[in-house]
Copies of this chain bind each other. A is one copy, B any other.
Amino acid sequence: MSKNYDELKTYLDRYQAIRAALTLFSFDSDTYAPDDAFEMTTQITTILSKEAFDILTSPSVKALVKQCKTENLQPIESKNVLEVEKRLEQLSSIPADEYRASQILEKRSQAAWLEAKKKGDFSIFAPYLKEMIETQKRFASYRQKPGQSLYEVVLDDYEPGMTEASYDDFFGQVKEGIVPLIHKISALHKERPNFLKLSYDLNQQKQFNEWLASYIGFDLKRGKISETEHPYTTSLHNHDVRFTNHYYENQMDSAIFSTIHEGGHGIYEQQVDDTISLTLAGGAISSGMHESQSRFMENCIGRSKDFWEPIYPKLQNLFSKQLNEVSLDDFVKGINDARCSLIRTEADELTYPLHILIRYELEKKMFEEEIDVNDLPKLWDDLYEKYLGIRPDHISQGILQDIHWSSGMFGYFPTYALGSAIACQIYHYLMENEPLTSWLKNGELHHLTAWLKEHIHRFGGTKSTAEILKDALNENFEPKYYVDYLVKKYSALYDLE
């Protein structure tokens, strides 16, 4: 037992408690709070954010971290100390007045983005985007390490350990393996299956999705499902994990795959070990690792025939009018329908990584070249044409579609594709080494969630992505499984072999 660590922990506990309050305020604003509450509530959350910041960056915390680093701590304790140190480095590298200015910029920039998107007018957002890129590049320069590119600084924030070279290699393989396949499928000009265009009662959809969440292993005693325009997952701790969904009458598959996707995130959060849940290392390791769990459940599992074999009759029964004539095979083909589209969040499993590739290439440009922000919309459109063969008619379907850049989140997008790739590596391992097929066909998903808990979830942020993969799969990250999986799966689905 270290006296210094114990003292540090009282600060971290206070920090975590205020962070949890902020999480709850945010969730409540999204799902329940009255319409006109926002302005006053923002006064409260602004104070709480500052409070959390002040606790973490206090001289006492800095001194205690320094002390703790010289001591022999338990592994989890060491991990927490390293985590504080990392956040302190990030925060302390930015002068206080610049940090405050960046927070104001963020709010204005988000508002400008929203207005620009609504009005379809990039010029409203352009000056903010310019300032946001400059600010984030400057902030990155304050903590740039020797040999590190500016872009690598932010890439590392979201996926520690991934270098630009590894991402270049990864996206290179994706481009080489997937683009030709997509072009072949596009050339078939297949229609979107009819059953996906029919109308499905919203209450019945909700009923099925609630059951489905539970079926895949999301514990409804430790979690809740609510509704927002854009589905997401949030958690106060491992006993209180909440995700949201959105139900569309004419897109029954949308809510189903949001349930499995957000459920995948949620199960991860729920299965973090009790002893670390309320610590800094209580979350997931990284954005990529978190996304790997949602994409694994959504795509590798949730879009497989094995998964639907035991439960498709239930869905068919509930919506007999719409699905009576649709065989299991047709259903599985339908939910794996691939086609080039403009909106990332609506993209299918196959074309999705190209949306990310485009953003990755643009972010590299922003960080490594002197570009004029006014050129970005055309660059965006050209890349969509190049990789996906389509061009946005409207800027809100082009560069203005995502909120990320307006919030200064550069380097985040690549983790979405990385997550998909890790998912496929895990899937490959399980198919080779565990009876995954029979778990799915027998509806015994608890075997799967138990495996995920044992090898991935329970560690929360105490192990790095590389450590997780090494310990669980006995391998380093390897992009080839992703490309192999997509090529094999879609060649079969579209009879391209």
Which residues of A come within 8 Å of B, CB atoms? 13-14, 16-18, 20-21, 24-25, 28, 32-37, 39-41, 43-45, 47-48, 51, 219-224, 236-242, 277-278
Query: A36 near B237 (CB under 8 angstroms)?
Result: no
Rounded to whole Å, the gap between the CB of A242 and the closest CB of chain B is: 8
Q: State the Cβ distance, A24 to closest chain B Cβ, in Å.
A: 6
Given the known interface contacts A37-B239, A43-B278, A239-B36, the answer about A48 and B17 at a Cβ–Cβ threshold of 8 Å is yes
A-B contact pairs, 30 of them (CB 8 A): A13-B47, A14-B47, A16-B44, A17-B47, A18-B18, A18-B48, A20-B44, A21-B24, A21-B44, A24-B25, A24-B28, A28-B28, A32-B224, A33-B224, A34-B224, A34-B239, A35-B221, A36-B219, A36-B222, A36-B239, A37-B222, A37-B237, A40-B236, A40-B239, A40-B277, A41-B237, A41-B239, A41-B240, A43-B278, A44-B237
Closest chain B CB from A254 CB (angstroms): 24
Name the one of B34, B43, B236 contacting A37, with C-beta atoms under 8 angstroms. B236
Q: Are B278 and A33 in contact (CB under 8 A)?
A: no
Chain B nearest Cβ from A51, distance in angstroms = 6
Whole-angstrom distance between the alpha carbons of A13 and B13 in the complex?
A: 21
In chain B, what residue has the closest Cβ to A241?
B34
* Identical chains in the assembly: 2
Q: List the 5 closest A-B pairs by CB distance, nearest first.
A: A21-B21, A37-B240, A17-B47, A40-B237, A40-B239
CB distance B278 to A39 under 8 Å? no
Complex Cα distance A44/B52, Å?
14
Q: Report yes or no: A236 in contact with B24, Cβ–Cβ below 8 A.
A: no
CA distance A39 to B242 in the complex (A): 17
* Apart from the given pairs A21-B21, A44-B237, 12 other A-B contacts in the complex at a CB distance below 8 Å: A13-B47, A17-B44, A21-B24, A34-B221, A34-B223, A34-B240, A35-B221, A36-B222, A36-B239, A37-B239, A40-B236, A40-B238
Nearest chain B residue, comparing its CB with the CB of A19: B44
**Whole-angstrom distance between the Cβ of A14 and the nearest chain B Cβ:** 6
Which one of B28, B39, B223, B278 lies within 8 Å of A44 (CB-CB)? B278
Which one of B14, B34, B44 lies within 8 Å of A222 (CB-CB)?
Answer: B34
